[in-house]
């Protein structure tokens, strides 16, 4: 579910904001909050502020999408201190209080501001103002595809290089690793965006040669979770293909956990950007080193209860450690939680023991 904040500073703007709130709330994928200036309220459900400045940092960091119904200059000055990077910033759209223009201001592709601007404009009858080069030239952008499919961008400097090549009229082919579990879904979404994905098998000489067509310095996009050598103008998009199950002893330092996880990913030749989530047992939910490690890796983590794990261990015939079972009630943490989180029966790496840490990696097979 995406969170939306609609902020207005005039009575007419507040009314327009409420109209949009009801429109977006009809979609169960959105949670919407209206913020209205004191003395200039709509009379509908809202929270009130006397000044935007004390609230701006919270709004900017707490919501996926921000719609400001006011002058663009006000918004630029207010959000400027909090802008970090296109991979982190929320979608920001600005609209005048009469609903004449809707402007995609920030995070047009990865944040979805361009699409959201078009949606807002269509609903209120406004003119959408979108200025990103690929969009104004009618060219499908790789970062839009990445957002739609939940992919991560490997290198943002390469993204700029590839988008520039597209706008300059260069042919930029898209290649996809044909061993990916959700291959057909990815191809269907790409096709809907007007993008043809060329399949290649990364484990064969012919397959590797396929995505090297045009030479090392050619601009291209490659979708894979594997760590493969590519040229300087190859944009790699990382699909979420794995879960990492982690077991550790009490008070294990972050550094030991990071070493174990990174070594495990290197063993299976996979990118950490393709990890959908980490997982562990609920008794580790307060483990400082573990929480610090996943925070540094920028992974979400899910903790399973022993009651969830025990029947899965039995049904899947997972080997257990008597010591661990006596300690926490179940005898296998890393494999069990990785598989449960992946909704899968396929391990890319079985339980591997490191100092004070165990790691298993599962292939995601359900969403």
Name the residue with higher pLDDT: 213 or 134: 134
Using CB atoms within 10 Å of the CB of residue 91, give its burial: 0 to 12 exposed, 13 to 18 middle, 19+ buried: buried
DSSP assignment string, 49-116: ES-SHHHHHHHHHH-SEEEEES-HHHHHHHHGGG---TTTPPEEEEE-TTSSEEEEEE-SSSS-HHHH
Yes or no: domain 242-363 corresponds to CATH 3.30.70.60: no
What global pTM score does this model have? 0.87
Instruction: Please calculate the CA angle 127-132-137 and round it to the nearest 5 degrees.
Output: 85
Distances (CA, A) of 87 to 19, 106, 139, 154, 238: 30, 11, 21, 11, 13
Q: Please name which of 334, 346, 344, 347 lies closest in space to residue 304, comparing C-alpha atoms.
A: 334
Q: Is the per-residue pLDDT at 75 higher than 80?
A: yes
CATH pick for 2-131 out of 3.40.50.11220, 3.40.50.620, 3.40.50.300, 3.30.70.520: 3.40.50.11220
**Residue 308 and residue 330 in contact, taking contact as beta carbons nearer than 8 Å:** no
CATH 3.40.50.11220-classified regions of the chain: 2-131
Backbone torsions φ then ψ of 289, nearest 5 degrees? -65, -40
pLDDT tens digit string along 246-288?
999 999 999 999 999 999 999 999 999 999 999 999 999 999 9
pLDDT tens digit string along 314-330?
999 999 888 888 888 89
DSSP 4: E
Using CB atoms within 10 Å of the CB of residue 176, give its burial: 0 to 12 exposed, 13 to 18 middle, 19+ buried: buried
The pLDDT value recorded for residue 219 is 94
pLDDT tens digit string along 130-155?
999 888 888 899 999 999 999 999 99
CATH 3.30.420.180-classified regions of the chain: 242-363
Q: Which pair of tokens denotes residue 4?
A: 């939306």
The pLDDT value recorded for residue 296 is 97
The pLDDT value recorded for residue 217 is 87
């Amino acid at each position: 579910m995406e969170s939306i904040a609609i902020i207005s500073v005039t009575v007419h703007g507040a009314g327009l904001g409420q109209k949009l709130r009801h429109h977006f709330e009809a979609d169960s994928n959105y949670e919407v909050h209206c913020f209205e200036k004191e003395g200039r309220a709509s009379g509908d459900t809202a929270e009130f502020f006397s000044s935007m400045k004390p609230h701006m940092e919270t709004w900017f960091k707490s919501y996926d999408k921000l719609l400001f119904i006011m002058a663009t200059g006000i918004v630029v000055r207010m959000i400027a201190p909090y802008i970090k990077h296109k991979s982190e910033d929320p979608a920001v759209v600005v609209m005048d209080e009469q609903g004449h223009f809707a402007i995609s201001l920030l995070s047009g592709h990865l944040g979805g501001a361009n699409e959201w601007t078009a949606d807002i404009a269509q609903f209120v009858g406004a003119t959408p103002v979108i200025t990103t080069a690929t969009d104004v030239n009618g060219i499908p952008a790789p970062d839009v595809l990445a957002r739609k499919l939940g992919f991560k961008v490997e290198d943002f400097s390469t993204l700029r290089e590839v988008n520039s090549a597209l706008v300059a009229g260069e042919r930029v082919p898209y290649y996809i690793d044909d061993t990916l579990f959700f291959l057909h879904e990815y191809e269907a979404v790409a096709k809907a965006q007007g993008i043809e994905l060329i399949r290649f098998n990364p484990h064969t000489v012919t397959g590797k040669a396929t995505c090297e067509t045009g030479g090392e310095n050619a601009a291209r996009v490659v979708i894979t979770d594997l760590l493969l050598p590519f040229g300087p103008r190859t944009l790699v998009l990382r699909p979420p293909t794995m879960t990492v199950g982690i077991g550790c002893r009490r008070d294990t330092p972050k550094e030991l956990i990071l070493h174990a996880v990174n070594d495990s990913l290197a063993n299976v030749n996979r990118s950490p950007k393709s990890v959908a989530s980490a997982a562990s047992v609920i008794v580790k939910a307060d483990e400082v080193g573990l929480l610090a490690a996943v925070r540094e890796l920028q992974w979400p983590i899910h903790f399973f209860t022993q009651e969830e794990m025990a029947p899965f261990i039995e049904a899947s015939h997972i080997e257990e450690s008597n010591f661990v079972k006596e300690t926490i009630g179940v005898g296998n943490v890393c494999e069990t939680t990785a598989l449960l989180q992946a909704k899968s029966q396929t391990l890319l790496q079985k339980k591997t023991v490191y100092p004070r840490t165990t790691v298993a990696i599962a292939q995601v097979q359900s969403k």
